[in-house]
Amino acid sequence: MRTVIVGAGPAGLGVAHALGAARTPARDCVLLEREAEPAGLCRSFTVGGATFDYGGHAFFTKHPEVDELLGRLAPHGLYRQPRNAWVHSHGTYVPYPFQSNLFGLPVDVVADCLLGATRQAAVPAGAPPAHLAEWVTASFGEGIARHFLTPYNSKLWAHPLDMVTPHWTGERIVQPDLDDIVRGALSRREYRKYPNAQVRYPARGGFSELYRPLGEALGDRIRHDELDRLDLARRTAHTRSGATLEFDTLVATLPLPDLVARTADASDEIRDLVGLLRYNSLHLVSLAVDPANATDKHRVYAADPEIPFHKLVLNNNSSPALSAAPAFGIQAEVSFSPYKPVAREGLVDRVVGALVAMGLLRTPGDVRAADVREIPYAYPVATADTARVVTALREFYGRHGVLLAGRFGEWAYINSDSALQRGLDIGKELAR
Ligand SMILES: Cc1cc2nc3c(=O)[nH]c(=O)nc-3n(C[C@H](O)[C@H](O)[C@H](O)COP(=O)(O)OP(=O)(O)OC[C@H]3O[C@@H](n4cnc5c(N)ncnc54)[C@H](O)[C@@H]3O)c2cc1C
C-alpha cells in the first residue's frame, strides 16, 4: 500500500513515524516537503547570532505518548523552567495573565476591573456566549474586557471578535475565579494555575531541535519537493519537479485552501466552502540587539493599539545555551489579515520605537541586525462556519483516500504536540 504524506511538520512526521516509514520500502511511503528542512512551523533560524523560532514556541503537553517520544529522541535533552510571561498595559508591566494580576495597574483601571468582575459574578448564567467578545465580558466582566482582553484579542486575531467563536477558550485563556481576581488586585502574588506554567525547550539550539530527530530518522523518505496538483480520480500526486506519485492513501497536512487550490477535480461547492475558512497571518520582526538590553522575561503581551505587536518573544531565555549567544534576541509578532492590514514598510522602525518606549531597548542604535519574515498561515480563526466546512472537506477527501491532519489541515487551534499526536494516531490507524 502506497502512502504519500504532504508536509513534514509535526503532523506529517507523526504519521510517518507511526507507520514505521523509515523501515518500510521507499515505494510504500514518501513525505513531500517543499521546504529545505522538516519541522514546518516549528523550524528555527538565526539572525545576528540570536536564535529565533517562527513565533514564540515552548513545549508542554498533555499527551503522554508525545511526551515520551520527544523526550526520548531529544539529542541533548530538554530544559524545563517556569514560564516568565508579562503583560504591558497602561504604561506598566504586570505578570501574565492580566486578569489575575491587576495589582500595580492604575487605581482606576483596577477599580473598573474589580467592579466589572464582581457585577458579572452576580449575573445568572444565560445562553452560552455566541462569540469571543461576548465570552470575554461574560467570563471576566466589562472592566477586564475593556482594559485588556478585548483589545488584546482584537489585535491577535486581526478579525472582528463577533466573528470568532469561543469554544477553544477553555484551554487557551486563563480563567481565574473571582477570589483569585480580587486577591491578585490587592497584592502581587504567584498565580500559576494554567497548563503552560512550566515549559520545556531543547537544551541546545532552537525549537526545531525537538522535531529534527523525527525528520532525520526518515532520511530519503522525505523528498524536498512541492505538491503541485492532486488528481483524486486517478489517485495521483504531481510535484513541482515533475514527478508523479501514485497513492492508495494521501495524508494532507498543508493548509486546506492550498490543498483545494491544488486539487484538479475539486467541485465548485468545495472551492466555495474552503473560501469560508478564516485565518490570520504574522509579520515576524526578529532583532539581534546589544546584550546590555537583556531581560529575564520570556514573553510580553501588549494590547495597546499604538504598539504594533501583540506579543514579544525573548527567546534567549528559553535555555541557558541560547542565553549564552553573543546577541540578545527580541522577536515581535505582528498579526494581520484583510480586516487588519499592516504595512511591512517601516515596520522595523515602528517595532524599535515601541521597544524603546516600553523600556526594553535603550536606543535604536543597540539593534545589530534585523529580519522581517511572514507566516502566511499563523492561527486558524474559529468562526460559525469552521466545523461545517472542515466536516464537508473531510468527507469529500475521505472518499478519495485523502486524510486531513494538522493545524491547518484540520483548521484546529492546536500546538505542535497535538499536531504530532494526531499524526501518530493516523499513522497507527493506517499501519493496522
Ligand atoms: C506564532 C505561533 C506560536 C506557536 N507556539 C507554539 C508553542 O509554543 N508550542 C507548540 O507546541 N506549538 C506552537 N505553535 C503551533 C505549532 O507551530 C503548530 O501547531 C505545528 O507546527 C503544526 O504542525 P503541522 O504539521 O500541522 O503543520 P506545519 O508545521 O505548518 O507543517 C506543514 C508542512 O507542510 C509543508 N507544505 C505546505 N504546503 C506544501 C506543499 N504544497 N507541498 C509540500 N509541502 C508543503 C510546509 O512547508 C510545512 O513543513 C505556534 C504556532 C505559531 C504560528
* pLDDT tens, position by position, 24-46: 877 789 999 999 999 999 999 99
pLDDT of amino acid 24: 81
pLDDT of amino acid 314: 98
Partner residues linked to 280 by β-bridges: 379
**163 C-alpha to center of ligand 1: Å?**
24
Instruction: Note whether 317 and 169 are same-domain residues.
Output: no
pLDDT band for position 372 (50/70/90)? very high
The verdict on residue 111 lying in a domain is yes
Average pLDDT over residues 174-195: 94
The verdict on residue 173 lying in a domain is yes
Whether residue 221 has pLDDT greater than 80: yes
pLDDT band for position 432 (50/70/90)? confident
Whether residue 22 has pLDDT greater than 90: no
Ligand 1 pocket test: which of 30, 407, 422, 424 has the largest number of ligand atoms within 8 Å of its C-beta? 407
**10 C-alpha to center of ligand 1: Å?**
7
| Tens-digit pLDDT profile for residues 111-137 | 999 999 999 999 998 899 999 999 999
**321 C-alpha to center of ligand 1: Å?**
24
**348 C-alpha to center of ligand 1: Å?**
25
Work out how many domains the chain is built from and give that number.
Answer: 3
Whether residue 161 has pLDDT greater than 80: yes
Kind and range of the H or E run holding 247: none
pLDDT of amino acid 26: 73
Pocket of ligand 1 (CB under 6 A): 6-12, 32-35, 40-42, 55-59, 226-227, 253-254, 258, 282, 333, 375, 378, 406-409, 414-417, 419
How far, in Å, CA of 252 to CA of 267, rounded?
18
Instruction: Note whether 201 and 292 are same-domain residues.
Output: yes
190 to each of 6, 97, 200, how far by Cα in Å?
A: 44, 11, 20
Average pLDDT over residues 170-193: 93
Give me the CATH number covering residue 398: 3.50.50.60
**255 C-alpha to center of ligand 1: Å?**
9
The verdict on residue 327 lying in a domain is yes
Partner residues linked to 287 by β-bridges: 330, 370
The verdict on residue 253 lying in a domain is yes
Q: Name which residue sits closest to atom 48 of ligand 1, judged by CA.
A: 40
Instruction: Note whether 343 and 421 are same-domain residues.
Output: no
Domain, as residue range, for 27: 3-39+211-277+385-431
Mean residue pLDDT of the chain comes to 97
The verdict on residue 100 lying in a domain is no
Instruction: Note whether 117 and 31 are same-domain residues.
Output: no
Instruction: Note whether 308 and 169 are same-domain residues.
Output: no
Instruction: Note whether 225 and 270 are same-domain residues.
Output: yes
DSSP per-residue string spanning 333-387: EEEEBTTB---STTHHHHHHHHHHHTTS-S-GGGEEEEEEEEEEEEEEEP-TTHH
Instruction: Note whether 200 and 300 are same-domain residues.
Output: yes
Give me the CATH number covering residue 48: 3.90.660.20
Instruction: Note whether 134 and 239 are same-domain residues.
Output: no
Instruction: Note whether 324 and 200 are same-domain residues.
Output: yes
Whether residue 75 has pLDDT greater than 80: yes
Average pLDDT over residues 306-335: 98
pLDDT of amino acid 274: 98
Instruction: Note whether 302 and 363 are same-domain residues.
Output: yes
Whether residue 1 has pLDDT greater than 80: no
Average pLDDT over residues 189-206: 94
C-alpha cell of 214?
Answer: 523525527
pLDDT of amino acid 126: 86
**Side-by-side strand order, sheet with 244-246:** 227-231, 236-239, 244-246
Instruction: Note whether 298 and 200 are same-domain residues.
Output: yes
The verdict on residue 352 lying in a domain is yes
| Tens-digit pLDDT profile for residues 3-20 | 999 999 999 999 999 998
How far, in Å, CA of 231 to CA of 392, rounded?
19
Instruction: Note whether 33 and 54 are same-domain residues.
Output: no
The verdict on residue 91 lying in a domain is no
Whether residue 146 has pLDDT greater than 80: yes
What end-to-end distance do the CA atoms of the chain give, in Å? 12
Average pLDDT over residues 253-265: 98
The verdict on residue 88 lying in a domain is no
How far, in Å, CA of 362 to CA of 28, rounded?
57
